[in-house]
Structure 1
Amino acid sequence: MTPPERYHFGASVRSLLVPRHDPCGVFTGDELWLTARTPEGPATLHLARDGQDLVATGYGPGEQWILDRADAIAGLRDDVTAFPALAAAHPLIKRLARTFEGIRLPATGLVFRSVLRAVLEQKVTGKEAHRAYRLICQNLSEPAPGPRELMLPPDPAVIAATPYWVFHPYGMEQRRTQALQRAAVVAARLELCADSADATRRLMALPGIGVWTAAEVVRVAYGDADAVSVGDFHIPNTVAWALAGEARGTDERMLELLEPFRGHRARVCELLAHGGIGAPKFGPRMPIRSFARF
């Protein structure tokens, strides 16, 4: 595969993995290993730089399926042709779009893989969510095919059949566990959604999954560049500060400021994150809790 000029491999694909350590994948700078449960069976994808090109290698029963989607997983199907004209509406976004023009949004085509991580990240710190993710993948799954020692994402059927008390030591309270298990029960249908809008509608019909979780899922599974995470703790403040110089913002104000970028509103939020832009912080940080001790 031949990426576009100035394509940034790491910044495009690193978000597919949980920070620091992901049992289901690893990024080393020049290569990405990613495991998945595809419609055709377990698979591992290896993406590696070879000069200006990307070389994809697949392993396991789902090898052909994941190879067919390798370009999308690398972000090479992400269409940014209309974005520069929209970015010109604000000098900061115009500058960030130029600075980070090599970043593309990946699209895995795998809904439940993203549901797992998004539900775990509901209303808790990243450290809590990532710990739960690692423990679930290590204890409720099995090794992935291929030469690397990686785990597959857990089987939705296993998630659905596992009693709540198993999740509790991982730091999962009952509300998030039940939301995850409801999605696991209908995981096969979720994977058949025609597009981002269809998946959003089906996800939000499940108790415990709202607009924030749905946006987090479809942005990765479908590469939806317009899926704004409404209800996020930080993003409304970041957008208000970056686009209007306001230290605090509501979801309504965030959407108002992002409206000129419709179609690429999530891309704008991603650019602000890549640019290290954040609103001023006031007060103490959110405490790290452990539901495992409750």
Structure 2
Amino acid sequence: MTMVEDSRYEAVRSRDARFDGVFFFAVATTGIYCRPSCPAITPKRRNVSFYRTAAAAQGAGYRACRRCRPDAVPGSAEWNVRADVVGRAMRLIGDGVVDREGVAGLAGRLGYSARQVQRQLTAEVGAGPIALARAQRGHTARVLLQTTDLQAAEIAFAAGFASVRQFNDTIRAIYAATPTELREARRAPSGVPTRFGPVTTEHGTAGVPLRLAHRLPCATGALFDGLAAHALPGIEELTGAPGARIYRRTLRLPGGPGIAEVGERSGAAGWLECRLHLTDLRDLTTATQRLRRLFDLDADPGAVAERLGADPALAPLVTARPGLRVPGSADPDETALRILLGRGLTPAGARRRGTALVAALGQPLGRPSGGLTHLFPTAATLAGAPLAGLGLTGERRAGLRTLATALADGTVALDPGADRAATTRLLLALPGVGAWTAGHIRTRALGDPDVPLTDDREVRAGMRRAGAHPGGTERWRPWSSYAAYYLRTAP
């Protein structure tokens, strides 16, 4: 433990931003906690303690640094790698399950008792589910205070607090400031995203601006290229020229439809500019986390490069495109159904099939926004639809209906806390779902960073071009999904 903490202190001394979100450090003499890259004077080692999460630091009585804003950091890639109950719980808490369903709902999804979940999280990350959710609510509240003109009471409930008093007490405990003081300390207008045009949705809102932090490097151009190649009209669109594109898509959220806009231009600065138009502001945390998964913003590019760069066949690909991200999912059910729909087709062919499906069965928005007109059909809708007249073969219609039925009735669950191995077995047991489909669903819908996709024709072709040995995939772990994406998308 001493060696680990000494290494962490060296990261603090060098202000290494690669470790932002991986751990936090607190200073006994000031009573604050910071991210490793905090620009303040480095404290003496004897005054520093380390925590796995912001919630653990808050639980120990420390307040957030106002200079480095340690709550606004990328999440730790560890939680995406881990398949155990702690990793699954952290992903579910990030998605807002505790706020919506309580600790009992979290435990039920994990298949453990609430006491077991509390014990394991406290032992591993230094905080239980309530404390972790409270820290997340505090961050959401700060974003709303500093980016909107909503009343404090509206922000309290939008962030997930049960009362205004709880909101006030939490803000004081985390930031050592009142909500009014936090709002008065908001950054100048130049610090707020301004590149998005004024878009009025069916909710009549201008949207909530925020920044989606990520670790550098980030191959933003390649990420937007991948999204553009598979964008489904009516559901997604990209506007602007390469280098300054804006990706827009509809979101099906617990409180109603939403629209997300994410800009490409600021990627080199360590964040992506975003604006969310929501029916219910209480969906802010959920929408933010879904976009983070879609853009793979909690990735650890340093760890990926270190592992994959050690493979002589992959090293040139990693060097040529540092910080490559694997596109994930903003809606796991939608992603899974689109993967099956597009199996064996070119992106253009998959887009034609998807466009026909959305036009026939998608849920129209109350008011179109630019090229966004629909939400993707729900699994329940597809399970009960005849799917005729869409240009689909009988085999593809049957497979699509089978998968949709399994998603609709809960036989297969693709939420962030799903057991990936068990879910893959369930998928493979469905008629019409083979290894290729299950592997891509596991990679994108479940966000698994360790799927080699060796059943994919493009991956195998990439391996041949790069001279990668088919039996050498073990050396890619735990970042096999990144290796597969480098190989599939290599020029």
Q: More relative contact order in 1 or in 2 (CA 8 Å, sep 6+)?
A: 1
Tell me if the contact between 1:32 and 1:48 (Cα under 8 Å) persists in the aligned partners. Answer: yes
Tell me if the contact between 2:261 and 2:275 (Cα under 8 Å) persists in the aligned partners. Answer: yes
- 2:370 is aligned to 148
The total of aligned residue pairs comes to 264
- 2:275 is aligned to 57
Amino acid at match of 1:156: A
2-structure distance, mates of 1:77, 1:141: 31
- 1:45 is aligned to 260
Tell me if the contact between 1:218 and 1:224 (Cα under 8 Å) persists in the aligned partners. Answer: yes
Structure 1 pair 122–80 and aligned structure 2 pair: CA distance change class (3 A): same
SS in 2 for 1:170: coil
2-structure distance, mates of 1:39, 1:191: 16
2-structure distance, mates of 1:105, 1:229: 13
1:122 aligns to 2:346 (yes or no): no
- 2:64 is aligned to none
Structure 1 pair 146–163 and aligned structure 2 pair: CA distance change class (3 A): closer
- Cα-to-partner distance string for 1:30-52 (whole Å, 9 max, x where unaligned): 32112232344432211125642
Amino acid at match of 1:108: S
Structure 1 pair 59–266 and aligned structure 2 pair: CA distance change class (3 A): same
Equivalent runs, 1:88-167 vs 2, <5 Å: 88-108=309-329, 110-144=331-365, 147-150=369-372, 151-164=374-387, 166=388
TM-score scaled to structure 1, two decimals?
A: 0.78
Tell me if the contact between 1:42 and 1:61 (Cα under 8 Å) persists in the aligned partners. Answer: yes
Structure 1 pair 214–109 and aligned structure 2 pair: CA distance change class (3 A): farther
1:184 aligns to 2:404 (yes or no): yes
- 1:291 is aligned to none
Note the C-alpha offset of 1:135. 1.0
SS in 2 for 1:143: strand
- 2:451 is aligned to 227
Amino acid at match of 1:7: C
SS in 2 for 1:234: helix
Instruction: Choose which of 186, 189, 213 in structure 1 pairs with 2:437.
Output: 213
Amino acid at match of 1:269: A
Moved more, 150-159 or 184-193: 184-193
SS in 2 for 1:215: helix
Tell me if the contact between 2:353 and 2:391 (Cα under 8 Å) persists in the aligned partners. Answer: yes
Which consecutive unaligned segments of at least 5 residues does structure 2 have? 1-211
Note the C-alpha offset of 1:125. 4.1
- 1:174 is aligned to 394
Tell me if the contact between 1:118 and 1:216 (Cα under 8 Å) persists in the aligned partners. Answer: yes
SS in 1 for 2:306: helix
SS in 1 for 2:431: coil
Q: CA RMSD in A?
A: 2.7
- 1:269 is aligned to 484
Note the C-alpha offset of 1:239. 1.1
Structure 1 pair 201–146 and aligned structure 2 pair: CA distance change class (3 A): farther
Equivalent runs, 1:220-259 vs 2, <5 Å: 220-244=444-468, 254=470, 256-259=471-474
Structure 1 pair 170–211 and aligned structure 2 pair: CA distance change class (3 A): same
1-structure distance, mates of 2:328, 2:344: 25
Instruction: Choose which of 424, 427, 451 in structure 2 pairs with 1:200.
Output: 424
1-structure distance, mates of 2:368, 2:217: 30
Amino acid at match of 2:317: L
Note the C-alpha offset of 1:213. 0.5
Structure 1 pair 128–54 and aligned structure 2 pair: CA distance change class (3 A): closer
SS in 1 for 2:301: coil
Tell me if the contact between 2:342 and 2:353 (Cα under 8 Å) persists in the aligned partners. Answer: no
- Cα-to-partner distance string for 1:154-193 (whole Å, 9 max, x where unaligned): 12222111114x2xx3321111111111121232432345
1-structure distance, mates of 2:422, 2:258: 26
1-structure distance, mates of 2:478, 2:232: 32
Moved more, 9-18 or 103-112: 9-18
SS in 2 for 1:227: coil
- Cα-to-partner distance string for 1:192-223 (whole Å, 9 max, x where unaligned): 45243343233222211122101111222233
- 1:76 is aligned to 297
Note the C-alpha offset of 1:76. 0.9
Which consecutive unaligned segments of at least 5 residues does structure 1 have? 245-252, 277-294
Tell me if the contact between 2:247 and 2:263 (Cα under 8 Å) persists in the aligned partners. Answer: yes
Tell me if the contact between 1:12 and 1:104 (Cα under 8 Å) persists in the aligned partners. Answer: yes
Tell me if the contact between 2:462 and 2:490 (Cα under 8 Å) persists in the aligned partners. Answer: no
Tell me if the contact between 1:122 and 1:176 (Cα under 8 Å) persists in the aligned partners. Answer: no
